[in-house]
Amino acid sequence: MIPVFQREIVEVPFLLPDGTFKHHPALVVSVPELQEEEEGLFYTVLISTKNHHPKYTIEIKAEDIVNRPSIDKKSYFVTHIVTYFLTRDIIQRKGYFVTKSKFNEVVDTVINNIFGEPLNEK
């Protein structure tokens, strides 16, 4: 088992809300220790060129990605679609990583969009 790393972009077979599977890039958001404890399990956030729900997406800019020379199409982190995979599900490793600041923005947005405002702020 070759581990994936937090902030890495991988291509995986996403189950979409309409029930179909489609190969999509995804941002790895879980910690590497989870893969060790759960035999290759990791969590991702969908990356898409579609912006169906702008309230739940964050645009990806060239400066947000490390080791990628350019971005071919306008793309988005889809922060309300978080899914788990096993390392054996990976179709392709991109060799790209999201900057730490953009990663933190994505994680904060995922938490807010799925769980609402933090409990300690109520």
Domain carrying residue 67: 8-121
93 domain-assigned: yes
Average pLDDT over every residue of 50-75: 88
Question: Is residue 88 in a domain?
Answer: yes
Q: Is residue 18 part of a domain?
A: yes
Average pLDDT of the chain?
Answer: 90
User: Is 2 within a domain?
Assistant: no
CATH number at residue 112: 2.30.30.110
User: What pLDDT, on the 0 to 100 scale, is given for residue 71?
Assistant: 67
* C-alpha–C-alpha distance, residues 16 and 20, integer Å: 5
On the question of pLDDT at 44 being above 60, the answer is yes
Give the pLDDT band of residue 21 (cuts 50, 70, 90).
very high
Q: How many CA atoms lie within 13 A of 14 on its CB side?
A: 21
- Residue 12 confidence class, pLDDT cut points 50, 70, 90: very high
**Which two tokens mark 42?**
């990791």
d(Cα 73, Cα 119) in Å, to the nearest integer? 37
Asked, for residue 41, whether it belongs to a domain, the answer is: yes
- 34-61 residues labelled b (16+ CB within 10 A) or e (exposed): ebeeeebebbbbbbbeeeeeeebbbebe
pLDDT value at residue 89? 96
In a domain, 114, yes or no: yes
Segments of the chain assigned E as strands = 8-15, 21-28, 41-48, 57-60, 65-66, 75-86, 92-98
Instruction: Inform me whether the pLDDT recorded for 88 exceeds 90.
Output: yes
In a domain? residue 3: no
Structural domains in the chain (count): 1
Paired strand residues for 85: 42
> Which residue is listed with tokens 């994505």?
106
Q: Which residues pair with 26 in a beta bridge?
A: 10, 46
Residue 76: per-residue pLDDT: 97
pLDDT at residue 69, rounded to an integer: 65
Q: Quick check: is 1 in a domain?
A: no
